[in-house]
């Protein structure tokens, strides 16, 4: 990477490399912006930013994925407007850093990533967090503040009203464990996964146009549900505050579509807690069943799945060693995550690849998900230290 940096920027003095991982969310989908529970793990797929202070007056950012270089005057960074371009992510982060009182100087940044873009494995948060570390260039920052700052960049500058999950897990990921996050208190619990269990993400290789606008619609529909439910139950500020038992008698007060959206969120929060219990008891069958219930809820009540995701879930269920599967990430394409016996992984990957190819004439990419450390500087390239 440093050699590449030299080719692109003409020198490689003082280069440091920062890494932030993507993630797979095991269960708890579309619950983070409702201040509920999620259970992601950080992946060994990650975004790396090689960075060095430079002479001159500009920040230069190059993405290998895009094979594109963009240049920005440091003095104008605070006033820049979003351009609907990939640089909105790092520039949004730069603005939030400036706003938080961190002076930024001229610098060169080279971005390399192994996280597939727009596939529900959170390349966006990986880019935000790694860029923030690169801009900070070794200056310390509280890890929770780092995650929140990157979320603000995506919400305020990129314009995506996202929850905290992606940035949080990219910062706080850990080897050998998933992380249960309480998206209201921002507390976390490391959840070791049963040793005999494996998780495989399967990429549909599609992303339907709807995804951005539907996400915003869902955020609005959940807010509409809260407005009505709080009349019934004073003190309700988000869907997190409504239990399934409270929800059912009140559901008829909501317009039918809003009721289905809210039912997904309310039941999904409960499923995260039950999944963690099942995981701690090593009950793979119960974990798998909860993942499938999550998928059906996303498919029918939240309506964020698609034909390709449904196919991958249904096909996985019939395969040797599989306990359950669901879509992961925002939906409308991207990946599924399947829970299966570790010994069955190779056969599953072959089987699901063949089944998907036969149906859609597309080869899905597959990733065996290994829980990995959160973001940090790469000091030597075998051992990547975590921030947390
Ligand atoms: P996800 O986070 O699930 O991968 P998003 O739509 O939230 O999907 O974010 C994907 C966007 O992030 C891309 O369209 C691009 O703008 C930006 N991005 C992510 N990784 C890179 C990269 N390596 N180089 C340039 N842009 C990137
Ligand atoms: Mg994203």
Q: What is the pTM of this model?
A: 0.96
Residues 316, 338 contacting (CB under 8 angstroms): yes
Model confidence over 251-274: pLDDT tens digits?
A: 999 999 999 999 999 999 999 999
* Residue entry with tokens 């930024």: 104
Residues 211, 331 contacting (CB under 8 angstroms): yes
Mean pLDDT, residues 370-375:
97
Mean pLDDT, residues 240-246:
97
Model confidence over 99-134: pLDDT tens digits?
A: 999 999 999 999 999 999 999 999 999 999 999 999
> Rounded to the nearest 5°, which phi and psi values hold at 222?
-65, -40
Q: Which CATH class is domain 2-28+42-174?
A: alpha beta
pLDDT value at 385 more than 60? no
How many Å apart are CA 82 and CA 80, to the nearest integer? 7
- 381: pLDDT confidence band, cut at 50, 70 and 90? low
- 388: pLDDT confidence band, cut at 50, 70 and 90? very low
Report the chain's mean pLDDT, rounded to a whole number. Answer: 96
Which of 67, 86, 126 maximizes ligand 1 atoms within 8 Å of its Cβ, making it the mutation to test the pocket? 86
Ligand 1 — pocket residues by CB below 6 A? 47, 63, 65-66, 86, 89, 111, 113, 117-124, 127, 329
H helix runs in 181-232, sequence order: 211-232
The Cα diameter of the chain in Å comes to: 66
> Catalytic residues, which ones?
166
For residue 64, the ligand closest to its alpha carbon is 1
Pairing of strands 177-182, 107-113: unpaired
Q: Which neighbouring-strand residues pair with 111?
A: 49, 63
Model confidence over 157-202: pLDDT tens digits?
A: 999 999 999 999 999 999 999 999 999 999 999 999 999 999 999 9
Atom of ligand 1 nearest to the CA of 166: 2
Tokens linked to 285: 């069958």
Which of 45, 117, 119, 151 maximizes ligand 1 atoms within 8 Å of its Cβ, making it the mutation to test the pocket? 117
Domain ranges of the chain: 2-28+42-174
Give the Å distance between the CA of 84 and the centre of ligand 2.
Answer: 14
- 379: pLDDT confidence band, cut at 50, 70 and 90? confident
Atom of ligand 1 nearest to the CA of 116: 4
H helix runs in 281-364, sequence order: 284-296, 307-317, 345-360
Atom of ligand 1 nearest to the CA of 88: 16
Q: Which residues contact 293 (CB under 8 A, 6 or more apart)?
A: 267, 271
Amino acid 332: pLDDT: 96
Which of 32, 90, 124 maximizes ligand 1 atoms within 8 Å of its Cβ, making it the mutation to test the pocket? 124
How many Å apart are CA 215 and CA 211, to the nearest integer? 6
Atom of ligand 1 nearest to the CA of 121: 3
Residues 72, 104 contacting (CB under 8 angstroms): no
How many Å apart are CA 242 and CA 266, to the nearest integer? 7
Q: Whose CA is nearest to atom 15 of ligand 1?
A: 86
Pairing of strands 58-63, 107-113: parallel
């Amino acid at each position: 990477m440093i050699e590449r940096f030299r080719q692109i920027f003409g020198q490689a003095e003082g280069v440091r490399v920062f890494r932030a991982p993507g993630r797979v969310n095991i269960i708890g989908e579309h619950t983070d912006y409702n201040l509920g529970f999620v259970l992601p793990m950080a992946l060994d797929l990650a975004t790396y930013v090689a960075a060095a202070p430079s002479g001159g007056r500009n920040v230069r950012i190059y993405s290998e994925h895009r094979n594109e270089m963009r240049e920005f005057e440091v003095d104008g960074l605070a006033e820049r407007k979003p351009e609907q371009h990939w640089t909105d992510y790092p520039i949004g982060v730069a603005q939030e850093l400036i706003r938080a009182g961190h002076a930024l100087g001229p610098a060169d940044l080279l971005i390399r990533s192994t996280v597939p873009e727009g596939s529900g494995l959170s390349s966006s948060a990986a880019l935000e967090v790694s860029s923030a570390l690169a801009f900070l260039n070794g200056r310390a920052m509280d890890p929770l503040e780092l995650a929140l700052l990157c979320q603000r960049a995506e919400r305020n500058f990129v314009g995506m009203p996202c929850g905290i999950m992606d940035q949080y897990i990219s910062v706080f990921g850990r080897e050998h464990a998933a992380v249960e996050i309480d998206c209201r208190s921002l507390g976390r619990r490391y959840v070791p996964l049963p040793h005999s269990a494996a998780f495989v993400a399967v990429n549909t290789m599609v992303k339907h146009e709807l995804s951005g606008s539907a996400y915003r619609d869902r955020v609005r529909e959940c807010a509409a549900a809260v407005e009505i439910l709080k009349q019934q139950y004073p003190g309700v500020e988000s869907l997190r505050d409504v239990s399934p038992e409270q929800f059912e008698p009140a559901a008829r007060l909501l317009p039918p579509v809003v009721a289905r959206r809210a039912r997904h969120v309310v039941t999904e929060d409960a499923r995260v807690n039950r999944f963690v219990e099942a995981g701690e008891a090593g009950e793979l069958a119960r974990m798998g069943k909860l993942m499938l219930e999550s998928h059906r809820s996303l498919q029918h009540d939240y309506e964020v799945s698609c034909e390709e995701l449904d196919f991958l879930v249904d096909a996985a269920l019939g395969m040797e060693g599989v306990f359950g599967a669901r879509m992961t990430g925002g939906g409308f394409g991207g990946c599924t995550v399947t829970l299966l016996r570790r010994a069955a992984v190779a056969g599953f990957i072959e089987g699901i690849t063949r089944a998907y190819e036969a149906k859609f004439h597309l080869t899905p990419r597959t990733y065996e998900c290994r829980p990995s450390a959160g973001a940090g500087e790469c000091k030597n390239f075998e051992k990547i230290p975590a921030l947390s």
